[in-house]
C-alpha cells in the first residue's frame, strides 16, 4: 500500500470516527471543558477533574488528546497496537458505540493537543467535534515549532522565534475565540501571547498566574519532607493545598491555579475548590513521581515528556531535594525546529548549575548540552539509548543519590531506564508511563536494535 493511499485512508477513517463521535455527543450532551497549551495540559486536566469531582460527575480524555484519540475516547474505544488491522477493528467497533448507554458524567474535560496549523493536526479540526463551554489556555512555547516554521515559510513569513510563538498562540487560541458568550476563558496572565486573548473572546474571563491582578494568584510553592505546598489568593480569600505524596515543581502551581479558576466559575469558593483539589488530585504516571531506586537511591520520574520550561522547573527543583549527589538523565526535547539548539543550550546551562553529573540521550543533548558540561569540567556521559543509560547509571549510582529522569516521548522511552533502576521493578506496570501492548512492543523494538549494534 502506497504512502499516499495510507494517508487518504487515514483521513477517511478520522472523519468517519469524528462523525460517529458527534452522534455520541449529541445523545450524551455533557458540559465540555477544553484545555490547550504547549505544556501543562495533562496536569491541568487532572486538576480540573479533581476540583469538580465533589460537585460533578466528570469524565476526562485520559491518554487521548489527538485528532484520533479524542473521538475514540468519546466512543469508549482504545487502540492496542496501532496496526492497520487494529484501526480497521476500531472502525467496525465504532458503529454501535453511539447507541450504547451514554456515560453518567455530566462534564467532559478534554485535552486538545495540536501538532501544527493545518488539518487534521490543528485546533479547528478538534473544534469540529467538541464545542467547549470553558476553555483553558496554559502556556506557549516552541514545542511543535518545526511544523509551524514550514507553514510560515509557505506563507512568506520569516520563521523566527517570535513569529513561531505567535503562530502557535494563534492556532491554540482558537479554543478561546470560539467560546460562547455564556462560557469562560481561563487564561495564563503571565504570558503575553495568551493574556491578549482576553480581548478576543465573548466569554467571561478568568486569569491565573503570579501577577497580583490575576483572578487566582499563585503566591508560593514550598517543598519539605511533607511534600509540596502551594498557596493561592483571590481578591477576597487565601487558600493552600498540600500534596504529601509528590514533590512538584512550581509550574504545577499554574495548572492548579487554572483549575481553581474553573472551580470559581462553577460557583465553588476558593477554600472548597482547594479542598477538592487536595482530596481528589492524582498525578498521571511519569510526571513527578518519587520512586525508590536501587542502591538506596531516589528517582524523580518525569519521563512522560519534556519541553523547555517544565524541564527547567524540574532542574531547579532538583536543587531542593535532599540527596548526596544530584544526577540527571536527560533526553532530547523534540519538535523544536530551528529553536532546538538555543533551547537545549538554555536548559543545558541550568543543568550544569544544578547537577553534579548528567547522562544524555539523543543527538540534541549530545550536540548542545554535553559541551556545556565539558566546558565546566563537570562529568557528563553520552548514552546511545535508555538501555545504555541504565547500564551506565547502575554502575555509577551510590547510596543517597537523587536521579531526575526527563525527556520527550516516543522513541527515547526513558522509562526503560527507570524500570531497570527501580528497587521494585514489579511495580512498573502501576507507576510508570507508556504501558500496554503497543508500548511493550516499542520497547522490545528498541531493545532489539541495541542488541544488533552491540
- The dihedral built from the CA positions of residue 33, 34, 39 and 42, taken in this order, carries a sign that is positive
In the block, cell 546511545 appears at 384
Averaged over 442-450, what is the pLDDT? 86
> What pLDDT does residue 454 have?
54
Q: How far apart are CA 318 and CA 328, in angstroms?
A: 9
pLDDT by residue (tens digit) across 401-414?
999 999 998 789 99
> What pLDDT does residue 266 have?
97
Q: Are 239 and 230 in contact (CB under 8 A)?
A: no
Q: Which three cell numbers stand for residue 381?
A: 556521559
pLDDT by residue (tens digit) across 184-222?
999 999 999 999 999 999 999 999 999 999 999 999 999
> What pLDDT does residue 236 have?
95
Averaged over 240-262, what is the pLDDT? 93
In the predicted structure, residue 420 carries a pLDDT above the cut 60: yes
Peptide bond into 120 cis (omega under 30): yes
pLDDT by residue (tens digit) across 382-405?
999 999 999 999 999 999 999 999
Answer whether 0.95 is exceeded by the pTM. no
User: What is residue 357's three-state secondary structure?
Assistant: strand
Residue 160 phi, psi dihedral angles, 5° rounding: -80, 175
> What pLDDT does residue 410 have?
74
Q: Are 207 and 215 in contact (CB under 8 A)?
A: yes
The torsion angle over the Cα atoms of residues 338, 158, 65 and 140, rounded to 10 degrees, is 80
In the predicted structure, residue 451 carries a pLDDT above the cut 90: no
> What pLDDT does residue 409 have?
84
With b meaning 16 or more CB within 10 Å and e meaning fewer, what string describes 361-373? Answer: bbebbbebbbebb
Q: Which three cell numbers stand for residue 146?
A: 518545526
pLDDT by residue (tens digit) across 291-332?
999 999 999 999 999 999 999 999 999 988 878 999 999 999
Averaged over 409-420, what is the pLDDT? 93
In the predicted structure, residue 73 carries a pLDDT above the cut 80: yes
pLDDT by residue (tens digit) across 24-63?
999 999 999 999 999 999 999 999 999 999 999 999 998 8
Confidence of residue 227 (pLDDT cuts 50, 70, 90): confident
Domains in the chain, ordered, with CATH?
3-280 (3.40.1190.10), 289-453 (3.90.190.20)
Q: Which helix (H) or strand (E) holds 288?
A: none
Quote the mean pLDDT of the chain. 94
> What pLDDT does residue 411 have?
86
C-beta atoms surrounding 145 within 10 Å = 24
> What pLDDT does residue 1 have?
55
Adjacent-strand bridge partners of 36: 137
Confidence of residue 453 (pLDDT cuts 50, 70, 90): low
> What pLDDT does residue 226 have?
66
All residues at 6 or more sequence positions from 137 whose CB lies less than 8 Å from its CB, including other chains: 36, 37, 172, 173, 175, 176, 185, 186, 187, 188, 194, 197
> What pLDDT does residue 4 have?
78
Task: Give the residue among 31, 42, 180 at the shortest CA–CA distance from 111.
Answer: 42
pLDDT by residue (tens digit) across 96-108?
999 999 999 999 9
Amino acid at each position: 500500500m502506497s504512502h499516499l493511499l495510507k494517508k487518504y485512508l487515514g483521513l477517511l477513517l478520522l472523519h468517519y470516527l469524528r462523525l460517529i463521535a458527534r452522534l455520541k455527543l449529541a445523545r450524551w450532551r455533557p458540559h465540555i471543558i477544553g484545555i490547550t497549551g504547549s505544556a501543562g495540559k495533562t496536569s491541568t486536566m487532572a486538576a480540573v477533574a479533581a476540583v469538580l469531582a465533589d460537585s460533578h460527575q466528570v469524565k476526562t480524555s485520559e491518554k487521548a488528546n489527538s485528532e484520533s484519540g479524542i473521538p475514540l475516547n468519546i466512543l469508549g474505544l482504545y487502540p492496542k497496537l496501532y496496526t492497520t488491522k487494529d484501526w480497521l477493528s476500531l472502525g467496525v467497533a465504532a458503529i454501535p458505540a453511539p447507541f450504547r448507554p451514554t456515560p453518567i458524567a455530566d462534564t467532559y474535560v478534554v485535552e486538545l493537543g495540536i501538532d501544527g496549523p493545518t488539518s487534521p493536526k490543528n485546533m479547528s479540526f478538534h473544534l469540529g467535534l467538541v464545542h467547549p463551554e470553558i476553555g483553558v489556555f496554559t502556556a506557549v512555547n516552541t514545542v511543535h515549532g518545526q511544523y509551524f516554521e514550514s507553514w510560515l515559510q509557505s506563507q512568506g513569513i520569516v520563521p523566527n522565534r517570535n513569529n513561531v510563538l505567535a503562530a502557535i498562540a494563534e492556532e491554540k487560541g482558537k479554543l478561546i475565540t470560539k467560546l460562547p458568550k455564556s462560557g469562560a476563558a481561563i487564561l495564563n496572565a503571565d504570558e503575553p501571547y495568551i493574556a491578549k486573548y482576553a480581548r478576543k473572546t465573548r466569554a467571561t474571563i478568568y486569569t491565573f498566574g503570579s501577577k497580583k491582578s490575576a483572578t487566582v494568584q499563585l503566591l508560593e510553592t514550598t517543598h519539605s519532607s511533607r511534600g509540596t505546598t502551594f498557596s493561592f489568593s483571590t481578591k477576597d480569600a487565601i487558600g493552600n493545598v498540600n500534596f504529601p505524596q509528590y514533590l512538584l515543581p512550581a509550574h504545577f502551581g499554574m495548572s492548579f491555579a487554572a483549575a481553581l479558576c474553573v472551580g470559581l466559575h462553577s460557583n465553588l469558593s476558593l477554600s472548597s475548590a482547594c479542598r477538592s483539589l487536595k482530596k481528589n488530585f492524582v498525578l498521571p504516571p511519569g510526571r513527578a513521581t518519587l520512586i525508590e531506586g536501587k542502591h538506596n537511591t531516589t528517582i524523580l520520574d518525569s519521563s512522560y515528556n519534556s519541553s523547555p520550561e517544565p524541564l527547567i522547573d524540574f532542574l531547579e527543583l532538583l536543587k531542593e531535594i535532599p540527596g548526596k549527589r544530584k544526577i540527571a538523565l536527560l533526553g532530547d526535547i523534540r519538535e523544536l525546529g530551528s529553536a532546538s539548539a538555543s533551547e537545549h543550550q538554555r536548559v543545558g546551562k541550568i543543568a550544569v548549575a544544578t547537577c553534579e553529573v548528567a547522562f544524555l540521550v539523543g543527538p540534541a543533548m549530545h550536540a548542545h548540552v554535553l559541551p556545556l558540561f565539558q566546558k565546566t569540567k563537570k562529568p557528563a556521559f553520552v548514552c546511545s539509548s535508555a538501555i545504555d543509560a541504565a547500564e551506565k547509571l547502575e554502575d555509577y549510582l551510590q547510596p543517597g543519590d537523587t536521579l531526575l529522569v526527563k525527556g520527550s516521548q516516543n522513541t527515547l522511552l526513558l522509562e526503560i531506564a527507570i524500570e531497570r533502576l527501580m528497587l521494585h521493578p514489579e511495580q512498573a506496570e502501576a507507576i510508570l508511563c507508556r504501558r500496554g501492548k503497543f508500548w511493550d512492543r516499542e520497547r522490545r523494538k528498541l531493545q532489539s536494535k541495541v542488541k544488533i549494534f552491540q
